[in-house]
Amino acid sequence: MDTAVCHATNVYTCPQHIVIAFTVGILVAALTAHPVHATQDERLRAQKAAERVAAIKTLQAEMRDRATLLRELRTTSNRGVERAHTRLAREHSKANQDARARRMDALKVPVCSVRNCT
């Protein structure tokens, strides 16, 4: 059998068994050695590579869960801010309408006093 070296894991391998490893966002093919050709050291390195893959997958799942929770928290917070701003805008608009109504009432001249003056 023809053997090769995977430079990412330094494992001597034959092309019959392949384990896919994700290392720092780059897809690396870590070839596990064929049992006939493999030494104990090669098997140990392949096992460590497989454990690394499992650890990376676990970390990615945790990061995905954390990102989802943060996104939900941000969405909830934004909804609360939106409600508060809507309420404040409503109160401001009502205050402006009340102030305008008071100014208009102040400008009105009573009809009876105008007739009495002429």
Write the DSSP assignment of 68-104 as a string of letters. HHHHHHHHHHHHHHHHHHHHHHHHHHHHHHHHHHHHH
Residue 113: inside a domain: no
pLDDT of residue 118: 52
pLDDT of residue 54: 94
Measured over the CA atoms of residue 14, residue 16, residue 54 and residue 72, the dihedral's sign is positive
Residue 114: inside a domain: no
| Residue (of 30, 33, 35, 43) closest to 13 by Cα position | 33
Residue 29: inside a domain: yes
Number of structural domains (the chain) is: 1
Residue 115: inside a domain: no
Helix, strand, or coil here: 34? coil
Instruction: Look at residue 7 and tell me whether its pLDDT is greater than 70.
Output: no
pLDDT of residue 115: 58
Domain carrying residue 38: 4-108
pLDDT in tens, 86-108: 999 999 999 999 999 999 988 88
Pairing of strands 26-32, 4-6: unpaired
pLDDT in tens, 10-69: 444 444 444 444 444 444 444 444 555 668 888 889 999 999 999 999 999 999 999 999
Contact 8, 25 (CB under 8 A): no
Half-sphere exposure of 72 (CA within 13 A, CB side): 6
Residue 60: inside a domain: yes
Residue 95: inside a domain: yes
